[in-house]
Amino acid sequence: MPPPPAARAKVLRAFAELLVESGERAATLEAVADRAGVSKGGLLYHFPSKDALVDGVLDHLSALTSADVETMRAAPEGAADYLLRTSTVIDGEFGVVYLAVSRLAQGPYPRARDVLDEAQAAWTQTVREELGDPVLSRAVSLMGEGLYALASFGATGLGDREIDDLLVLVRDVAAARATTARPRA
């Protein structure tokens, strides 16, 4: 097949960035077109309506999530480590698109909620395969979600040091819970 038009990808990226940086309200067709470097008419050629544009990012996140879960599963540092560290990265492609969809999920787009729900379930499941303990896995997954939430409104974010500390805690607890009788060897 012929290479997909570059304009399409640029429009999707611009839409996601605007949603994250300035919110749903600011992500108008005109603003998206401007940032993508096309005209409003040009945008509407690729995405005939705003709903079509929304569907575009939703599909994009679905694809990215599948790839992300594979990477997470294969990560040498482990799934929990991978999850918490990437949950503070909101300027990578995945972070931007994930946060963009979590903004859409607040509006009248029920499918956005479904896509997020699936991502959340896949992460929790993958962490659980690694840690074994379901409660601890849920805790890690919740922390990841909390990190995204904080980062998304530019709160006084956590640095690498703080994430390191959390991961040490998680590993200690995992070890303690694995050896049932006498924790911490």
Contacts with DNA, residue ranges (CB under 7 A): 5-7, 25, 28-31, 33, 37-46, 48-51
Q: Is position 34 an interface residue for a copy of itself (rule: CB under 8 A)? A: no
Show the site string, 56-75: x = touches a copy of itself by CB under 8 A, - = not: --------------------
Going by C-alpha positions, the residue among 17, 147, 34, 146 that lies closest to residue 92 is 17
CB of 4 to DNA, least distance (A): 8
Work out which of 52, 63, 67, 168 binds a copy of itself, going by CB under 8 A.
Answer: 168
Burial class (CB in 10 A: 0-12, 13-18, 19+), 97: buried
Going by C-alpha positions, the residue among 117, 108, 166 that lies closest to residue 140 is 166
Q: List the alpha helices (DSSP H) in the chain.
A: 6-22, 29-36, 40-46, 50-74, 79-86, 93-104, 110-131, 134-152, 160-178
Structure tokens at 185: 């060897």
CB of 110 to DNA, least distance (A): 17
Work out which of 120, 122, 125, 171 binds a copy of itself, going by CB under 8 A.
Answer: 120
Name the residue nearer to DNA (CB basis): 3 or 110: 3
Name the residue nearer to a copy of itself (CB basis): 11 or 19: 19
CA distance 116 to 11: 21
CB of 151 to a copy of itself, least distance (A): 10
Q: Is position 179 an interface residue for a copy of itself (rule: CB under 8 A)? A: no
> Residues 22, 15: contact at Cβ < 8 Å?
no
Going by C-alpha positions, the residue among 33, 60, 28, 62 that lies closest to residue 46 is 33
Work out which of 9, 44, 75, 105 binds a copy of itself, going by CB under 8 A.
Answer: 105
Contact residues: a copy of itself, CB under 8 A: 22-26, 102-103, 105-108, 112-113, 116-117, 120-121, 135-136, 138-139, 141-150, 152-156, 158, 162, 165-166, 168-169, 173, 176, 183-184
